Structure 1
């Protein structure tokens, strides 16, 4: 069964919420305590021992380790260990600009993580174990959760309690097993992600689709202008950032839902996406364009597509090398940046002409499956179907009401 991460709101009384926050604060103290001892060890011995045995020895010296569930304490320990392992890997590659893992901010609420044990979820009621050694004597807490009603899951494998600093609420994240829809398709599709053209999609039968990203760009640009007149990290600044995040994520959900539904209708069983890992570190187009690209929500888009694909029985993977796919001719294989004549057009001397992002998607398809979905070696690709989405909200003076975004938005696609 496919696994998806389900976001849920927590409904708890003030006393329960206070206990949860205290346990999350304990997780921060344990994380920082482990780092402090490791740094001290490095100063004294010139090396750091991140073995489980050494970290467990340090945990016995941290009084806050008794403030939450023992298995969750071990997961905090593993976070520290993985942070140092990543640092050592970077250092081994000669990347000296990276510093050792840093302390978490004083007062920060770290996630409480539970894997397989220490929690119980029944009929939207959660029971969490906090161990047997808390100073206040509280061993467990219970509270209700609410989430999307259309998701039916078989089993909860992991549970995390997190603090959402944008909304200021404690929330739950459940990794659940869901029953996927039957999918007897054998087709495939490839996706090239971008900013102006959010997704360029090529299907196994040679048809292509474009999903516009202009509305997402407009939303982000608008709210960024609004925030420039506000003090950073002020209450109003955070409200604006949270509203922008909600609106962008809503649009990503609308786009991915339409695309996954289209894939299922066409009998697609597998979707491949270009591997964009490390793209933020490799781009440098000036301060203004860098700021836009560094906030480009491609990871969120891929994450949403993966779990929605899992629900429809469609495999989504993003492990295809997409280097030079945008400047490579799909017909003859010639690599020439000059072939991108202007925004939206790729034209090669061999006679191949196509929308530039579609050309990239076709190249990703061919790299992934060693076959081209387009017959013939030259000519034009059939005119793509372009999909755009219109919303009915604007401005910063929208009345504050729960769920205003979904209530006031029109997510109906306009296809032209």
Structure 2
């Protein structure tokens, strides 16, 4: 049964909110306490012991460890372990510019994480265990949640309670087992992710649909200019970043929903996407383009496709090695970077001429399924459809200072 992450709004009274925030504050103190003790160990011994046994020993000395559920405390412990393991892995690769895990801000409210136990979800009601040893005597809290309509799930596997400091609201993330619709389709499609072209989608019948990313670029470019005149991490800077995030997410939702609906209409059973892991580290286009590449929401886009595909009974695989797909001729197989004549044109001496992202999508399709969608053709894609989307009532503009509608329209 497919798993998706469901975002929900928490509706709780002021007393319950205060208890949840205190528990999240305790999680921050535990995280920072573990880091402090590990740093002291390094000063004394010249090494860091991140074994569970050692971290459990440290946990017994931390005063805030009884402020939230014991299994959630262990998940905080594992966060620290994973942070250090990632740091050690980067050092082993010689990437010395990465710093050791740092402390969380003293006012930061860390997520409360629950896996398998410690919580109960009954329709739109959540009950959380906070342990039996809190100083205020509160052992559990209960509150209502609301999420997107039309999602049916059988079981909640994981639950996280988070705090959004920009909106000032407590939110929930539920990893749920969903009921997928029956899908008897047999078709396949390959997707090449990009910047100017958000998605180039090559279907098995040779048709290709392009989803424009120009408005996403425009939004990010505009708000980047706005933030340049603001003090970093100020309240105003955070509000602008929040607005940009919401506008980009809205466009991604519109594009991915349209694409999944088109896949359902065409009888698609599987979507293949290039593996983006390591793409940011392995490419260097100069400071300006690198900054844009690192900020581009590839992972968010893939996650949207995965959970929307799961609801429609469509399998989304992002494990195709896309190395060389953008510079390889789809017809003759010649690998030549100069064949990419411009940002949007690929032209080979064999006569193959196509939009560059189309060429990449066709190569991903052939890599994954060992067959070309345009086999037997004269080297021309059967039909090319280009789609672009607008924000509608989401305007790309900076509201006046003090605009009370900033959050509501973000």
Cα distance in 1, alignment partners of residues 378 and 32 from structure 2: 60
- What is residue 191 of structure 1 aligned with on the other side? 191
Contact 1:331-1:378 at 8 Å conserved across structures: no
Partner secondary structure for residue 133 of structure 2: coil
Q: Partner residue of 2:398? A: 396
Secondary structure at 2:21's aligned position in 1?
helix
Partner of 2:63: 63
Gaps spanning 5+ residues in structure 1: where?
406-416
With normalisation by structure 2, the TM-score equals 0.94
1:157-172 to 2 correspondence within 5 Å?
157-172=157-172
Tell me, what secondary structure is at the counterpart of 2:324?
coil
Q: 2:98 — aligned with what?
A: 98
Distance 2:91 2:409 in 1: 47
Aligned-residue offset at 1:369: 1.4
What is the aligned length?
405
Alpha-carbon RMSD across the aligned residues, in angstroms, is: 1.7
1:52 corresponds in structure 2 to 52
Summarize the Cα distance change of 1:45–1:233 in structure 2 as closer, same or farther, 3 Å threshold: closer
140-149 vs 68-77, greater mean Cα deviation: 140-149
| Alpha carbons of structure 1 residues 40 and 378: separation in structure 2 relative to 1, 3 Å | farther
Q: How do 1:96-175 and structure 2 match up within 5 A?
A: 96-175=96-175
Residue 386 (structure 1) shift: 0.8
Segments ≥4 residues shifted beyond 6 Å: none
Partner of 1:352: 352
d(CA) in 2 for partners of 1:51, 1:234: 38
Deviations 1:180-236 (A, max 9, x none): 000011111110000000000111111111000011111112222222233322222
How far has the Cα of 1:121 moved from its partner? Answer: 1.2
CA distance in structure 2 between the partners assigned to 1:285 and 1:375 by the alignment: 34
Paired with 1:47 and 1:340, the residues of 2 have a C-alpha distance of: 50
Higher RCO, 1 vs 2 (CA within 8 Å, ≥6 residues apart): 2
Write the distance in 1 (CA, Å) between the matches of 2:381 and 2:148: 40
Alpha-carbon separation, structure 1, partners of 2:273 and 2:315: 11
Equivalent-residue separation in structure 2 for 1:10 and 1:211 (angstroms): 34
Report the counterpart of residue 179 of structure 1 in structure 2: 179
Instruction: Output one character per residue of 1:34-84: Cα deviation in whole Å (capped at 9) or x when no partner.
Output: 111122222222322222211111111111111100000011111111122
CA change 1:230–1:384 in 2 (3 A) is: same
Partner of 1:240: 240
Q: Match of 1:301?
A: 301
Q: CA deviation at 1:377?
A: 7.1
Deviations 1:251-297 (A, max 9, x none): 00000001111111111111111111122223333333232222111
Q: Secondary structure of 1:126's match?
A: strand
Take 2:307 and 2:38, find their aligned partners in 1: how far apart are those partners? 38
For the 8 Å contact 2:118–2:128, the answer to whether it is kept is yes
Q: 1:206 to 1:86 in 2, by over 3 A?
A: same
Aligned runs of 1:251-262 on 2, under 5 Å? 251-262=251-262
Q: Which runs of 5+ in 2 are unaligned?
A: none
Please give the alpha-carbon distance, in whole angstroms, between the structure 1 residues aligned to 2:90 and 2:341: 39
Q: 2:11: which partner in 1?
A: 11
* In 2: Cα distance, 1:319 partner to 1:68 partner: 38
For structure 1, which segment, 21-30 or 335-344, has the greater mean C-alpha deviation from structure 2 after superposition? Answer: 335-344
Q: Is the 8 A contact 2:162 2:170 kept in 1?
A: yes
For residue 223 of structure 2, what is the aligned residue in structure 1?
A: 223
Distance (whole Å) between structure 2 residues aligned to residue 198 and residue 136 of structure 1? 51
> Residue in 2 aligned with 1:22?
22
1:42 aligns with 2:42: yes
- Aligned residue number for residue 339 of structure 1: 339
Aligned counterparts of 1:399 and 1:350: Cα–Cα separation in 2: 60
